[in-house]
Structure 1
Protein backbone atom coordinates (compact mmCIF):
# COMPACT_ATOMS: atom_id res chain seq x y z
CA UNK A 1 0.00 0.00 0.00
CA UNK A 2 1.35 3.40 -0.97
CA UNK A 3 2.12 5.83 1.84
CA UNK A 4 1.10 8.71 -0.42
CA UNK A 5 -2.38 7.30 -1.04
CA UNK A 6 -4.88 10.11 -0.48
CA UNK A 7 -2.14 12.54 0.62
CA UNK A 8 -2.22 16.13 -0.60
CA UNK A 9 1.30 17.18 -1.64
CA UNK A 10 2.34 20.75 -2.45
CA UNK A 11 5.10 21.20 -5.05
CA UNK A 12 7.21 24.37 -4.83
CA UNK A 13 9.11 23.64 -8.07
CA UNK A 14 8.53 25.08 -11.52
CA UNK A 15 11.02 23.19 -13.65
CA UNK A 16 10.10 19.51 -14.00
CA UNK A 17 7.03 19.95 -11.79
CA UNK A 18 5.02 17.82 -14.28
CA UNK A 19 7.34 14.87 -13.65
CA UNK A 20 6.88 15.24 -9.89
CA UNK A 21 3.09 15.60 -10.27
CA UNK A 22 2.96 12.40 -12.31
CA UNK A 23 4.97 10.43 -9.72
CA UNK A 24 2.76 11.61 -6.86
CA UNK A 25 -0.41 10.79 -8.84
CA UNK A 26 0.94 7.32 -9.74
CA UNK A 27 1.46 6.66 -6.03
CA UNK A 28 -2.12 7.65 -5.24
CA UNK A 29 -1.37 11.13 -3.95
CA UNK A 30 -2.88 14.47 -4.98
CA UNK A 31 -0.35 17.04 -6.24
CA UNK A 32 -0.82 20.83 -5.98
CA UNK A 33 1.71 23.10 -7.71
CA UNK A 34 2.75 26.41 -6.16
CA UNK A 35 5.66 27.65 -8.33
CA UNK A 36 7.99 29.48 -5.93
CA UNK A 37 11.05 29.72 -8.15
CA UNK A 38 10.14 32.66 -10.37
CA UNK A 39 10.93 32.64 -14.06
CA UNK A 40 14.51 32.00 -15.15
CA UNK A 41 16.12 34.67 -17.30
CA UNK A 42 19.19 33.80 -19.37
CA UNK A 43 21.29 36.90 -19.90
CA UNK A 44 22.82 36.52 -23.38
CA UNK A 45 24.56 39.89 -23.38
CA UNK A 46 26.21 39.30 -20.00
CA UNK A 47 27.19 35.76 -21.03
CA UNK A 48 28.93 37.06 -24.15
CA UNK A 49 30.85 39.60 -22.07
CA UNK A 50 31.83 36.92 -19.51
CA UNK A 51 33.17 34.63 -22.27
CA UNK A 52 35.20 37.45 -23.85
CA UNK A 53 36.60 38.53 -20.46
CA UNK A 54 37.43 34.93 -19.62
CA UNK A 55 39.39 34.48 -22.86
CA UNK A 56 41.21 37.80 -22.45
CA UNK A 57 42.21 37.52 -18.80
CA UNK A 58 44.17 34.89 -16.93
CA UNK A 59 42.74 33.03 -13.95
CA UNK A 60 44.29 30.66 -11.46
CA UNK A 61 41.05 28.71 -11.13
CA UNK A 62 37.53 28.42 -12.57
CA UNK A 63 34.56 27.59 -10.33
CA UNK A 64 31.38 26.35 -12.04
CA UNK A 65 28.40 26.08 -9.71
CA UNK A 66 25.45 25.03 -11.91
CA UNK A 67 24.87 23.07 -15.10
CA UNK A 68 22.63 25.84 -16.50
CA UNK A 69 25.37 28.41 -15.85
CA UNK A 70 28.08 26.38 -17.57
CA UNK A 71 25.80 25.64 -20.53
CA UNK A 72 24.69 29.28 -20.90
CA UNK A 73 28.32 30.44 -21.06
CA UNK A 74 29.16 27.72 -23.54
CA UNK A 75 26.12 28.62 -25.71
CA UNK A 76 27.29 32.25 -25.74
CA UNK A 77 30.76 31.06 -26.85
CA UNK A 78 29.15 29.02 -29.67
CA UNK A 79 27.14 32.05 -30.87
CA UNK A 80 30.34 34.14 -31.03
CA UNK A 81 32.31 31.30 -32.74
CA UNK A 82 34.57 31.22 -29.68
CA UNK A 83 33.60 27.75 -28.43
CA UNK A 84 36.84 26.12 -29.62
CA UNK A 85 38.94 28.66 -27.74
CA UNK A 86 36.62 28.58 -24.72
CA UNK A 87 36.83 24.79 -24.30
CA UNK A 88 40.57 24.71 -25.04
CA UNK A 89 41.21 27.22 -22.30
CA UNK A 90 38.93 25.40 -19.82
CA UNK A 91 40.86 22.20 -20.54
CA UNK A 92 44.04 23.78 -19.16
CA UNK A 93 42.43 25.34 -16.07
CA UNK A 94 42.05 24.03 -12.54
CA UNK A 95 38.31 23.46 -12.50
CA UNK A 96 36.32 23.33 -9.27
CA UNK A 97 32.70 22.25 -9.64
CA UNK A 98 29.51 21.68 -7.70
CA UNK A 99 26.44 19.65 -8.64
CA UNK A 100 25.63 16.64 -10.82
CA UNK A 101 24.30 18.75 -13.74
CA UNK A 102 27.60 20.65 -13.88
CA UNK A 103 29.45 17.32 -13.90
CA UNK A 104 27.24 16.13 -16.79
CA UNK A 105 28.15 19.25 -18.78
CA UNK A 106 31.86 18.67 -18.14
CA UNK A 107 31.63 15.02 -19.26
CA UNK A 108 29.85 16.02 -22.47
CA UNK A 109 32.74 18.36 -23.23
CA UNK A 110 35.44 15.92 -22.07
CA UNK A 111 36.63 18.25 -19.31
CA UNK A 112 37.95 17.00 -15.99
CA UNK A 113 37.68 18.90 -12.70
CA UNK A 114 40.38 18.81 -10.05
CA UNK A 115 38.04 19.78 -7.21
CA UNK A 116 34.50 18.41 -6.80
CA UNK A 117 32.10 19.26 -3.99
CA UNK A 118 31.62 15.89 -2.30
CA UNK A 119 28.15 16.63 -0.98
CA UNK A 120 26.92 19.15 -3.56
CA UNK A 121 27.35 22.13 -1.23
CA UNK A 122 29.40 25.26 -1.89
CA UNK A 123 30.80 25.00 1.67
CA UNK A 124 32.43 21.69 0.83
CA UNK A 125 33.82 23.08 -2.41
CA UNK A 126 35.25 26.18 -0.72
CA UNK A 127 36.85 24.09 2.02
CA UNK A 128 38.96 22.37 -0.67
CA UNK A 129 40.26 25.62 -2.19
CA UNK A 130 43.62 26.54 -0.67
CA UNK A 131 44.47 29.85 0.98
CA UNK A 132 46.97 31.80 -1.14
CA UNK A 133 49.86 33.96 -0.07
CA UNK A 134 48.83 37.62 0.06
CA UNK A 135 51.94 38.71 -1.88
CA UNK A 136 50.55 37.26 -5.11
CA UNK A 137 47.10 38.05 -6.42
CA UNK A 138 45.28 35.04 -7.69
CA UNK A 139 42.15 35.50 -9.71
CA UNK A 140 39.16 33.17 -9.73
CA UNK A 141 36.50 33.02 -12.44
CA UNK A 142 33.33 32.28 -10.44
CA UNK A 143 30.12 31.36 -12.25
CA UNK A 144 27.48 32.39 -9.75
CA UNK A 145 23.75 31.86 -9.44
CA UNK A 146 21.30 33.91 -7.34
CA UNK A 147 22.36 32.17 -4.15
CA UNK A 148 24.70 33.57 -1.49
CA UNK A 149 26.92 35.31 -4.04
CA UNK A 150 28.22 37.92 -1.64
CA UNK A 151 28.94 35.30 1.00
CA UNK A 152 30.92 33.14 -1.48
CA UNK A 153 32.89 36.08 -2.80
CA UNK A 154 33.79 37.24 0.72
CA UNK A 155 34.99 33.73 1.59
CA UNK A 156 37.18 33.53 -1.51
CA UNK A 157 38.58 37.00 -0.92
CA UNK A 158 39.44 35.96 2.65
CA UNK A 159 41.49 33.12 1.15
CA UNK A 160 43.45 35.71 -0.83
CA UNK A 161 41.76 35.62 -4.24
CA UNK A 162 40.29 38.36 -6.35
CA UNK A 163 37.00 37.18 -7.84
CA UNK A 164 35.58 37.70 -11.32
CA UNK A 165 31.83 37.19 -11.07
CA UNK A 166 30.09 35.64 -14.09
CA UNK A 167 26.33 35.65 -13.72
CA UNK A 168 24.84 34.19 -16.92
CA UNK A 169 21.27 33.89 -15.59
CA UNK A 170 18.98 34.94 -12.78
CA UNK A 171 15.51 34.19 -11.46
CA UNK A 172 12.69 36.69 -11.26
CA UNK A 173 10.85 36.76 -7.93
CA UNK A 174 7.77 34.49 -7.81
CA UNK A 175 4.20 35.76 -7.87
CA UNK A 176 3.45 37.05 -4.30
CA UNK A 177 -0.13 35.70 -4.59
CA UNK A 178 1.22 32.17 -5.13
CA UNK A 179 3.64 32.51 -2.18
CA UNK A 180 0.84 33.65 0.15
CA UNK A 181 -1.48 30.92 -1.13
CA UNK A 182 1.06 28.21 -0.31
CA UNK A 183 1.80 29.79 3.09
CA UNK A 184 -1.93 29.74 3.88
CA UNK A 185 -2.31 26.10 2.77
CA UNK A 186 0.61 25.14 5.05
CA UNK A 187 -0.52 27.24 8.02
CA UNK A 188 -4.03 25.71 7.82
CA UNK A 189 -2.61 22.20 7.34
CA UNK A 190 -4.54 21.80 4.08
CA UNK A 191 -1.56 19.87 2.69
CA UNK A 192 0.04 16.74 4.12
CA UNK A 193 3.48 17.53 2.70
CA UNK A 194 5.37 20.09 0.60
CA UNK A 195 8.33 19.22 -1.62
CA UNK A 196 11.12 21.71 -2.38
CA UNK A 197 13.70 21.24 -5.14
CA UNK A 198 15.94 24.27 -4.48
CA UNK A 199 16.89 26.55 -1.64
CA UNK A 200 15.65 29.51 -3.73
CA UNK A 201 12.11 28.16 -3.25
CA UNK A 202 12.61 27.93 0.52
CA UNK A 203 14.06 31.44 0.64
CA UNK A 204 11.22 32.86 -1.46
CA UNK A 205 8.62 31.29 0.82
CA UNK A 206 10.15 32.60 4.04
CA UNK A 207 11.19 36.03 2.80
CA UNK A 208 7.91 36.82 1.10
CA UNK A 209 5.21 35.57 3.44
CA UNK A 210 3.82 37.39 6.46
CA UNK A 211 2.97 34.02 8.04
CA UNK A 212 6.52 32.87 8.68
CA UNK A 213 5.86 31.80 12.26
CA UNK A 214 2.64 29.91 11.41
CA UNK A 215 4.37 28.13 8.50
CA UNK A 216 7.22 26.89 10.74
CA UNK A 217 4.72 25.77 13.40
CA UNK A 218 2.67 23.86 10.81
CA UNK A 219 5.77 22.18 9.35
CA UNK A 220 6.88 21.11 12.80
CA UNK A 221 3.51 19.61 13.74
CA UNK A 222 1.16 18.85 10.85
CA UNK A 223 2.80 19.18 7.43
CA UNK A 224 5.85 17.17 6.31
CA UNK A 225 8.63 19.07 4.49
CA UNK A 226 10.66 17.21 1.84
CA UNK A 227 13.84 18.41 0.12
CA UNK A 228 15.54 17.13 -3.03
CA UNK A 229 19.00 17.22 -1.42
CA UNK A 230 21.29 18.42 1.34
CA UNK A 231 21.47 22.10 0.32
CA UNK A 232 17.68 22.51 0.18
CA UNK A 233 17.21 20.51 3.42
CA UNK A 234 19.76 22.72 5.20
CA UNK A 235 17.87 25.82 4.09
CA UNK A 236 14.66 24.40 5.63
CA UNK A 237 16.49 23.57 8.89
CA UNK A 238 17.95 27.11 8.94
CA UNK A 239 14.40 28.46 8.99
CA UNK A 240 13.51 26.37 12.04
CA UNK A 241 11.97 23.28 10.45
CA UNK A 242 13.07 20.26 12.47
CA UNK A 243 11.91 17.29 10.37
CA UNK A 244 12.84 17.20 6.68
CA UNK A 245 12.57 14.11 4.47
CA UNK A 246 15.40 13.87 1.93
CA UNK A 247 16.79 11.10 -0.31
CA UNK A 248 20.32 9.65 -0.16
CA UNK A 249 21.03 10.90 -3.68
CA UNK A 250 19.67 14.30 -4.73
CA UNK A 251 17.12 13.19 -7.31
CA UNK A 252 13.47 14.25 -7.60
CA UNK A 253 12.13 10.72 -8.07
CA UNK A 254 14.12 9.50 -5.07
CA UNK A 255 12.66 12.35 -2.96
CA UNK A 256 9.07 11.26 -3.76
CA UNK A 257 9.91 7.60 -3.00
CA UNK A 258 11.47 8.70 0.31
CA UNK A 259 8.34 10.73 1.16
CA UNK A 260 6.15 7.74 0.31
CA UNK A 261 8.24 5.53 2.63
CA UNK A 262 8.08 8.16 5.36
CA UNK A 263 4.25 8.08 5.27
CA UNK A 264 4.28 4.26 5.15
CA UNK A 265 6.39 4.15 8.31
CA UNK A 266 3.96 6.63 9.96
CA UNK A 267 1.10 4.23 9.13
CA UNK A 268 2.89 1.25 10.66
CA UNK A 269 3.55 3.23 13.86
CA UNK A 270 -0.14 3.96 14.33
Structure 2
Protein backbone atom coordinates (compact mmCIF):
# COMPACT_ATOMS: atom_id res chain seq x y z
CA UNK A 1 0.00 0.00 0.00
CA UNK A 2 1.25 3.49 -0.87
CA UNK A 3 2.17 5.70 2.06
CA UNK A 4 -0.05 8.58 0.99
CA UNK A 5 -3.18 6.50 0.50
CA UNK A 6 -6.20 8.47 1.79
CA UNK A 7 -3.98 11.28 3.04
CA UNK A 8 -5.13 14.93 2.57
CA UNK A 9 -2.07 17.04 1.90
CA UNK A 10 -2.19 20.83 1.89
CA UNK A 11 0.01 22.41 -0.80
CA UNK A 12 1.12 25.94 0.09
CA UNK A 13 3.01 26.49 -3.16
CA UNK A 14 1.82 28.77 -5.94
CA UNK A 15 4.15 27.77 -8.75
CA UNK A 16 4.29 24.03 -9.46
CA UNK A 17 1.29 23.40 -7.19
CA UNK A 18 -0.42 21.33 -9.88
CA UNK A 19 2.70 19.22 -10.40
CA UNK A 20 3.06 18.64 -6.65
CA UNK A 21 -0.61 17.70 -6.35
CA UNK A 22 -0.25 15.26 -9.24
CA UNK A 23 2.70 13.55 -7.54
CA UNK A 24 0.68 13.27 -4.33
CA UNK A 25 -2.26 11.77 -6.24
CA UNK A 26 0.04 9.26 -7.97
CA UNK A 27 0.99 8.01 -4.50
CA UNK A 28 -2.61 7.61 -3.38
CA UNK A 29 -3.21 10.92 -1.63
CA UNK A 30 -5.12 14.07 -2.47
CA UNK A 31 -3.45 17.46 -2.78
CA UNK A 32 -5.43 20.51 -1.61
CA UNK A 33 -3.87 23.72 -2.96
CA UNK A 34 -3.76 26.89 -0.88
CA UNK A 35 -1.52 29.37 -2.76
CA UNK A 36 0.38 31.07 0.05
CA UNK A 37 3.25 32.80 -1.74
CA UNK A 38 1.45 35.85 -3.09
CA UNK A 39 1.71 37.24 -6.60
CA UNK A 40 5.22 38.00 -7.80
CA UNK A 41 5.61 41.60 -8.94
CA UNK A 42 8.58 42.63 -11.05
CA UNK A 43 9.91 46.08 -10.20
CA UNK A 44 10.93 46.92 -13.75
CA UNK A 45 11.97 50.54 -13.14
CA UNK A 46 13.91 49.56 -10.02
CA UNK A 47 15.57 46.65 -11.79
CA UNK A 48 16.60 48.84 -14.71
CA UNK A 49 18.10 51.41 -12.34
CA UNK A 50 19.90 48.64 -10.43
CA UNK A 51 21.59 47.48 -13.65
CA UNK A 52 22.68 51.02 -14.55
CA UNK A 53 24.01 51.66 -11.06
CA UNK A 54 25.90 48.36 -11.10
CA UNK A 55 27.57 49.26 -14.40
CA UNK A 56 28.59 52.73 -13.25
CA UNK A 57 29.93 51.83 -9.78
CA UNK A 58 32.67 49.58 -8.48
CA UNK A 59 31.73 46.65 -6.24
CA UNK A 60 34.03 44.25 -4.40
CA UNK A 61 31.34 41.57 -4.20
CA UNK A 62 28.07 40.75 -5.91
CA UNK A 63 25.68 38.66 -3.82
CA UNK A 64 22.85 36.98 -5.74
CA UNK A 65 20.24 35.40 -3.49
CA UNK A 66 17.58 34.14 -5.94
CA UNK A 67 17.35 32.88 -9.49
CA UNK A 68 14.32 35.10 -10.10
CA UNK A 69 16.30 38.17 -9.08
CA UNK A 70 19.28 37.31 -11.26
CA UNK A 71 17.04 36.65 -14.27
CA UNK A 72 15.07 39.86 -13.72
CA UNK A 73 18.24 41.95 -13.64
CA UNK A 74 19.49 40.19 -16.78
CA UNK A 75 16.22 40.89 -18.59
CA UNK A 76 16.41 44.56 -17.62
CA UNK A 77 19.96 44.70 -18.97
CA UNK A 78 18.77 43.08 -22.21
CA UNK A 79 15.87 45.54 -22.54
CA UNK A 80 18.32 48.42 -22.18
CA UNK A 81 20.79 46.87 -24.68
CA UNK A 82 23.27 46.46 -21.83
CA UNK A 83 23.32 42.68 -21.47
CA UNK A 84 26.83 42.27 -22.90
CA UNK A 85 28.28 44.87 -20.53
CA UNK A 86 26.28 43.49 -17.59
CA UNK A 87 27.41 39.89 -18.03
CA UNK A 88 30.97 40.89 -18.82
CA UNK A 89 31.26 42.89 -15.61
CA UNK A 90 29.74 40.03 -13.61
CA UNK A 91 32.36 37.70 -15.08
CA UNK A 92 35.05 39.97 -13.64
CA UNK A 93 33.40 40.41 -10.22
CA UNK A 94 33.60 38.18 -7.16
CA UNK A 95 30.21 36.45 -7.05
CA UNK A 96 28.67 35.00 -3.88
CA UNK A 97 25.70 32.74 -4.66
CA UNK A 98 22.80 31.24 -2.73
CA UNK A 99 20.30 28.76 -4.18
CA UNK A 100 20.23 26.08 -6.87
CA UNK A 101 18.18 28.23 -9.27
CA UNK A 102 20.76 31.00 -9.01
CA UNK A 103 23.46 28.46 -9.83
CA UNK A 104 21.45 27.32 -12.86
CA UNK A 105 21.37 30.92 -14.07
CA UNK A 106 25.15 31.24 -13.63
CA UNK A 107 25.76 28.10 -15.69
CA UNK A 108 23.47 29.32 -18.45
CA UNK A 109 25.57 32.48 -18.70
CA UNK A 110 28.97 30.80 -18.31
CA UNK A 111 29.65 32.58 -15.04
CA UNK A 112 31.61 31.09 -12.16
CA UNK A 113 31.01 31.94 -8.50
CA UNK A 114 33.71 32.72 -5.96
CA UNK A 115 31.54 31.58 -3.04
CA UNK A 116 28.56 29.22 -2.93
CA UNK A 117 26.30 28.47 0.03
CA UNK A 118 26.45 24.68 0.11
CA UNK A 119 23.30 24.33 2.17
CA UNK A 120 21.39 27.08 0.38
CA UNK A 121 21.21 29.40 3.40
CA UNK A 122 22.30 33.01 3.70
CA UNK A 123 23.85 32.25 7.11
CA UNK A 124 26.29 29.81 5.50
CA UNK A 125 27.05 32.24 2.67
CA UNK A 126 27.81 35.02 5.14
CA UNK A 127 30.09 32.68 7.10
CA UNK A 128 32.15 32.23 3.93
CA UNK A 129 32.30 35.91 3.02
CA UNK A 130 35.67 37.38 4.06
CA UNK A 131 36.00 40.53 6.09
CA UNK A 132 36.44 43.69 3.99
CA UNK A 133 39.97 43.94 2.66
CA UNK A 134 39.83 47.74 2.63
CA UNK A 135 37.83 50.59 4.09
CA UNK A 136 34.71 51.28 2.05
CA UNK A 137 34.58 47.83 0.46
CA UNK A 138 31.19 47.53 -1.25
CA UNK A 139 28.63 44.84 -1.98
CA UNK A 140 25.90 44.72 -4.62
CA UNK A 141 23.21 42.73 -2.79
CA UNK A 142 20.33 41.32 -4.85
CA UNK A 143 17.48 40.56 -2.48
CA UNK A 144 13.74 41.20 -2.27
CA UNK A 145 11.43 42.72 0.30
CA UNK A 146 11.70 39.81 2.75
CA UNK A 147 14.70 39.92 5.11
CA UNK A 148 16.37 42.55 2.93
CA UNK A 149 16.93 44.94 5.85
CA UNK A 150 18.34 42.12 7.98
CA UNK A 151 20.79 41.04 5.26
CA UNK A 152 21.86 44.62 4.61
CA UNK A 153 22.40 45.26 8.32
CA UNK A 154 24.53 42.12 8.69
CA UNK A 155 26.79 43.17 5.83
CA UNK A 156 27.12 46.71 7.16
CA UNK A 157 27.92 45.38 10.62
CA UNK A 158 30.73 43.35 9.01
CA UNK A 159 32.14 46.57 7.54
CA UNK A 160 30.75 46.63 4.00
CA UNK A 161 28.97 49.42 2.18
CA UNK A 162 25.83 47.89 0.70
CA UNK A 163 23.89 48.67 -2.48
CA UNK A 164 20.50 46.97 -2.14
CA UNK A 165 18.97 45.69 -5.38
CA UNK A 166 15.28 44.70 -5.18
CA UNK A 167 14.21 43.70 -8.70
CA UNK A 168 10.99 42.04 -7.53
CA UNK A 169 8.63 41.60 -4.60
CA UNK A 170 5.55 39.60 -3.63
CA UNK A 171 2.06 40.91 -3.03
CA UNK A 172 0.25 39.43 0.00
CA UNK A 173 -1.69 36.24 -0.79
CA UNK A 174 -5.49 36.06 -0.64
CA UNK A 175 -6.76 36.59 2.89
CA UNK A 176 -9.55 34.09 2.24
CA UNK A 177 -7.02 31.45 1.14
CA UNK A 178 -4.83 32.07 4.17
CA UNK A 179 -7.75 31.85 6.59
CA UNK A 180 -8.99 28.65 4.94
CA UNK A 181 -5.60 26.96 5.23
CA UNK A 182 -5.13 28.08 8.83
CA UNK A 183 -8.56 26.72 9.74
CA UNK A 184 -7.75 23.35 8.13
CA UNK A 185 -4.46 23.16 10.04
CA UNK A 186 -5.94 24.16 13.39
CA UNK A 187 -8.80 21.64 12.97
CA UNK A 188 -6.17 19.08 11.91
CA UNK A 189 -8.28 18.07 8.92
CA UNK A 190 -5.09 17.93 6.83
CA UNK A 191 -2.57 15.14 7.39
CA UNK A 192 0.32 17.30 6.22
CA UNK A 193 1.18 20.63 4.61
CA UNK A 194 4.04 21.03 2.13
CA UNK A 195 5.92 24.31 1.86
CA UNK A 196 8.30 25.26 -0.94
CA UNK A 197 9.54 28.63 0.36
CA UNK A 198 10.05 30.52 3.60
CA UNK A 199 7.71 33.23 2.30
CA UNK A 200 4.81 30.79 2.43
CA UNK A 201 5.65 29.94 6.04
CA UNK A 202 5.92 33.59 7.07
CA UNK A 203 2.59 34.41 5.42
CA UNK A 204 0.75 31.59 7.17
CA UNK A 205 2.22 32.34 10.60
CA UNK A 206 1.33 36.05 10.58
CA UNK A 207 -1.69 35.28 12.81
CA UNK A 208 -2.90 32.37 14.99
CA UNK A 209 0.74 31.42 15.50
CA UNK A 210 0.34 29.42 18.69
CA UNK A 211 -2.66 27.45 17.42
CA UNK A 212 -0.84 26.59 14.19
CA UNK A 213 2.32 25.51 16.00
CA UNK A 214 0.32 23.31 18.37
CA UNK A 215 -1.46 21.63 15.44
CA UNK A 216 1.84 20.92 13.66
CA UNK A 217 3.29 19.55 16.88
CA UNK A 218 0.26 17.29 17.29
CA UNK A 219 -1.02 15.53 14.17
CA UNK A 220 -0.29 17.75 11.13
CA UNK A 221 3.06 16.96 9.49
CA UNK A 222 5.09 19.98 8.34
CA UNK A 223 7.00 19.23 5.13
CA UNK A 224 9.65 21.53 3.63
CA UNK A 225 11.36 21.36 0.25
CA UNK A 226 14.75 22.35 1.67
CA UNK A 227 16.79 23.72 4.57
CA UNK A 228 15.79 27.38 4.26
CA UNK A 229 12.09 26.56 4.38
CA UNK A 230 12.62 23.96 7.10
CA UNK A 231 14.47 26.46 9.31
CA UNK A 232 11.62 28.93 8.99
CA UNK A 233 9.20 26.26 10.20
CA UNK A 234 11.51 25.29 13.05
CA UNK A 235 11.79 28.96 14.03
CA UNK A 236 8.01 28.88 14.54
CA UNK A 237 8.47 26.23 17.22
CA UNK A 238 7.63 23.18 15.11
CA UNK A 239 9.52 20.24 16.56
CA UNK A 240 9.44 17.87 13.57
CA UNK A 241 9.90 19.11 10.00
CA UNK A 242 10.24 16.55 7.23
CA UNK A 243 12.55 17.45 4.35
CA UNK A 244 14.20 15.48 1.56
CA UNK A 245 17.94 14.90 1.26
CA UNK A 246 17.84 16.82 -2.03
CA UNK A 247 15.88 20.11 -2.19
CA UNK A 248 13.57 19.02 -5.01
CA UNK A 249 9.79 18.85 -5.12
CA UNK A 250 9.70 15.26 -6.37
CA UNK A 251 12.12 14.17 -3.66
CA UNK A 252 9.97 15.97 -1.08
CA UNK A 253 6.84 14.01 -2.03
CA UNK A 254 8.79 10.74 -2.10
CA UNK A 255 10.17 11.50 1.39
CA UNK A 256 6.63 12.11 2.62
CA UNK A 257 5.41 8.85 1.09
CA UNK A 258 8.25 6.93 2.76
CA UNK A 259 7.55 8.63 6.08
CA UNK A 260 3.95 7.37 6.09
CA UNK A 261 4.95 3.93 4.81
CA UNK A 262 7.32 3.61 7.74
CA UNK A 263 4.55 4.60 10.15
CA UNK A 264 2.38 1.82 8.74
CA UNK A 265 4.99 -0.80 9.63
CA UNK A 266 5.78 0.44 13.14
- TM-score w.r.t. structure 1 length? 0.97
Take 1:6 and 1:60, find their aligned partners in 2: how far apart are those partners? 54
Take 2:29 and 2:202, find their aligned partners in 1: how far apart are those partners? 26
Alignment length (residue pairs): 266
> Equivalent residue for 2:247?
250
> Equivalent residue for 1:191?
190
Contact 1:130 1:159 in 2 (8 A): no
Take 1:15 and 1:253, find their aligned partners in 2: how far apart are those partners? 14
> Equivalent residue for 2:40?
40
What stretches of structure 1 of length at least 5 have no aligned partner?
Answer: none
| 2:261 is aligned with 1:264 | yes
Take 2:14 and 2:8, find their aligned partners in 1: how far apart are those partners? 18
Take 1:167 and 1:145, find their aligned partners in 2: how far apart are those partners? 5
Take 1:64 and 1:37, find their aligned partners in 2: how far apart are those partners? 20
Task: After the TM superposition, list the runs of 4 or more consecutive aligned residues in structure 1 that deviate by more than 4 angstroms.
Answer: none
Structure 1, 120-129 or 150-159: larger mean CA deviation: 150-159
Take 2:107 and 2:68, find their aligned partners in 1: how far apart are those partners? 14
| 2:234 is aligned with 1:237 | yes
- Choose which of 216, 225, 236 in structure 1 pairs with 2:213: 216
Contact 1:4 1:260 in 2 (8 A): yes
Displacement of 1:158 in angstroms is 1.2
Take 2:151 and 2:32, find their aligned partners in 1: how far apart are those partners? 34
Aligned partner of residue 217 in structure 2, secondary structure: helix
- TM-score w.r.t. structure 2 length? 0.98
Take 2:17 and 2:93, find their aligned partners in 1: how far apart are those partners? 36
Displacement of 1:230 in angstroms is 0.4
Aligned partner of residue 265 in structure 2, secondary structure: helix
Take 1:239 and 1:79, find their aligned partners in 2: how far apart are those partners? 41
Pairwise CA RMSD of aligned residues? Answer: 0.9
